[in-house]
Amino acid sequence: MRQLGFPTLFCNQLDIDGGGRIIAYHMRMTDPKRHAVAAFKSLNFRTIAAGDSYNDTAMLAEADAGFFFRPPEHLPKEFPQFPVTQTYGELQSRFESAGS
């Protein structure tokens, strides 16, 4: 962390065995992305979120505007309420239109 200037980190905990392999993990909190969006909303921020996996769907639902960016094919079928973007141009357009 010294090489990075000791940034603020919010991490989960990993258990490492004697050989240096990860053998378990412990989440710092449940559903942290959704909680982060909810906290920003409670401060009267307009929230816009983009994600690409299952663990992002609660965050997308909590945000004022949420959409997928390059998700696996099956995900938009399961969560059709979230628009899909595939390019950075589409992503930028979604952010711009959601922010206005």
Q: Where are the domains of the chain?
A: 30-99
* pLDDT surpassing 90 at residue 75: yes
Average predicted confidence (pLDDT) for the chain = 93
Fold of 30-99: Rossmann fold (3.40.50)
Whole-model pTM? 0.78
* pLDDT surpassing 70 at residue 68: yes
The SS3 call for residue 94 is: helix
Whole-angstrom Cα distance, residue 44 to residue 98?
A: 16
Residue-wise pLDDT for 31-49, tens only, equals 999 999 999 999 999 999 9
Residue 1 has what pLDDT? 65
Residue-wise pLDDT for 1-25, tens only, equals 688 788 777 778 889 999 999 999 8
Sign of the torsion formed by the C-alpha atoms of 3, 4, 5 and 8: negative
For the chain, how long is the longest CA-to-CA vector? 53
